[in-house]
Amino acid sequence: MCGIVGYIGNKEAYPILINGLKRLEYRGYDSAGIALSNGETRTYKIKGKVADLEEFVSDKNISGDIGMGHTRWATHGEPNDVNAHPHESNGGKFIVIHNGIIENYSLLKKKLAGHGYQFKSDTDTEVLANLIEYLYVDGKLTAEEAVRLALHNVTGAYALVVIAKEETDKLIAARKGSPLVIGIGAGEYFIASDATPIVEYTRSVIYLNDDDIAVLTRDGLSLKTLKNDILTPQIQEIDLEIGAIEKGGYDHFMLKEIFEQPDTIQNTLRGRISADLKDIHHGGISAEIDKIINARRLLIVGCGTSWHAGLVGEYLFEEFTRIPVEVEYASEFRYRNPVIYPDDIVIAISQSGETADTLAAIKLAKDAGATVLGICNVVGSSISRETSAGIYTYAGPEIGVASTKAFTSQVTALSFFAYMVGRKKNIISQELYEQLISELVDVPAKIQTVLDHHQTIQDIAKRYKDSENFLYLGRGFLFPVALEGALKLKEISYIHAEGYPAAEMKHGPIALIDEKMPVVIVATKDKSYEKIVSNIQEVKARKGIVIAIVSEGDTIISEMADHVITIPMTHEAVSPILAVVPLQLLSYYIAVLRGCNVDQPRNLAKSVTVE
Ligand code: G6P
């Protein structure tokens, strides 16, 4: 949420910043701005996308070898030119870009107003810029000291970069709750919300921790805590190919990411399954494996699509390990005073590893003494660092705001995790264990078959692109898939869609069904098959339009449904990974046909780093 990029070195900063903002635009895209300095400092900002900013500055002075840029997802104040970042203090001494929320900003604003400060914008960030300036002037401090003191006076979350006009040889950066990573080049430094703007210049990075303050000059880097203790920077090498963050010939990142799934699932499985397909390695959860096997209860926390993956995890773990599972929205869990036992195992699922509510849920669980594991995609992310053990999904960068490949990789990781624990506890036989492993290993090829038949889905999309409502139904393992299908459609096409357990339809949604309502029913061959056939009849009896996802060889539903999308046969516990793919494609094609911006849907952000 909000993208931050900064540069200090001997090159022109502008191309690096604009390029970086384009890479970060998936984090927020309602306005954009930059500040550039070559002794004299200039700020340009505008409502709209990074492309609008580029056009806006085309006739301006954009020279400077120090600078910072911001792409915004509005929290305080509507998206407009004035609320866009960077924000300058009244006296023009400090320029700030910020991601996060300063919770006590209105109190600070009142106090600063009492000292004569005036505010142009509605943002909390402008308050912070003025607070820094106020402390700088009054205390005769250095810019770094003023930033530190200001941060002692704020509550909330931030990742920020500051340029001080009286000390223009440096960038000052600080983090609490929102990610920041520093890239180290030769005589130059980069700073960004994530590594994507940095990777084409350097692979050596430092991830800031909460309460870190970094000062970057051309000659070096100083890293301290908010309490002013000196830290030794931990330099890491990142492994990220530039191709992974480009569209690679696809029209949208989302389409690329859907089509990448045969590879990304293979990457999730790589090194986890023995060569003879008879066993699963503990890998990143080795340290906690005994606790997991003996757990009385599992709690799974996540948000959005990751929460849906968690629901599949509940079905998997209860089926194969008989450990009771509760799945919680991280945002509810953290505030509802949940009962957490010290012997609970909490699994936090997150693509980005930066979602604020999931991070807070982890902290709560840790404070209660529980063992917390992470299932994360982004290596080195906050959640991966906050958890004692876990599984990386290795799906590669996901840029499309609507999550696709992250979901299938999360469910893949939960699957082999559940099978492994189930076998260790002797809940499942070696025979079933091996069957499940080989079904999982076959998933990439089966997804490829679904992708090869995308034309059928495109044709269905053409017929129903103008529908105002959609209903998605599924049972058992496929109920979370129905939720995920509905979420995909509403996120990117703005069509109202609801996911329901198929049998629950009779308790409400059936009232909505008429000849205009497409009902997407995930009805592959499993133990609920006959039941879902009855549900389809109930929809047809009310003249609903049935779009059914069926297993290959199905004849019964094919005769009843208006449209069928066939997917290869697999074990019912593996079917969510396959069945979600046609739903991803359906939402993608509908959104494109409706002219929606698929990769940057309105109001959404990829990484929700504010609560
Ligand atoms: C946002 C994204 C979703 C994502 C959710 C959780 O809402 O748009 O795609 O599922 O956050 O994100 P996480 O990174 O924690 O999986």
At 509 the pLDDT is 83
At 430 the pLDDT is 97
Residue count (the chain)? 611
User: Model confidence over 430-457: pLDDT tens digits?
Assistant: 999 999 999 999 999 999 999 999 999 9
At 425 the pLDDT is 96
User: Model confidence over 325-380: pLDDT tens digits?
Assistant: 999 999 999 899 999 999 999 999 999 999 999 999 999 999 999 999 999 999 88
Specify whether the CB–CB gap between 213 and 199 falls below 8 A. no
**Helix, strand or coil, per DSSP, at residue 603:** coil
Does position 566 have pLDDT exceeding 90, yes or no? yes
Q: Which two tokens stand for residue 581?
A: 């793919």
The residues lining ligand 1, judged by C-beta closer than 6 Å to any ligand atom, are 303-306, 350-352, 355, 358, 401, 403, 604, 606-608
Alpha carbon distance, N-terminus to C-terminus of the chain: 11
Q: What percent of the chain has pLDDT over 90?
A: 81
Rounded distance between C-alpha atoms, residue 235 and residue 240, angstroms: 16
Mean pLDDT across the stretch 312-318?
98
Of 405, 606, 611, the one to substitute when testing ligand 1's pocket (max ligand atoms within 8 A of C-beta) is 606
Which one, of 525, 476, 315, lies nearest residue 533 by Cα?
525
Counting other chains too, the contacts that 198-203 makes at CB distance below 8 Å and 24 or more residues apart are 198/20, 198/238, 199/238, 199/240, 199/242, 199/245, 200/19, 200/242, 201/16, 203/237, 203/238, 203/239, 203/240
Instruction: Give the residue, 488 or 534, on which the prediction is more confident.
Output: 488
At 443 the pLDDT is 98
At 30 the pLDDT is 87
Instruction: Calculate the alpha carbon distances from 274 to 175, 266, 284, 446, 449 in Å.
Output: 41, 13, 15, 21, 25
Does position 28 have pLDDT exceeding 80, yes or no? no
At 138 the pLDDT is 60
User: Model confidence over 400-416: pLDDT tens digits?
Assistant: 999 999 999 999 999 99
At 276 the pLDDT is 94
Q: Is residue 2 flagged as an active site residue?
A: yes
Of 2, 303, 376, 596, the catalytic one is: 2
CB atoms within 10 A of CB 584: 28
Beta strand segments in 307-461, E: 325-329, 345-350, 371-376, 389-392
Cβ neighbourhood burial of 110 (10 Å; 0-12, 13-18, 19+): exposed
Of 22, 405, 488, 606, the catalytic one is: 606
**Helix, strand or coil, per DSSP, at residue 105:** helix
Which one, of 163, 147, 144, 146, lies nearest residue 36 by Cα?
163
Rounded distance between C-alpha atoms, residue 30 and residue 25, angstroms: 9
Q: What percent of the chain has pLDDT over 70?
A: 100
At 139 the pLDDT is 57
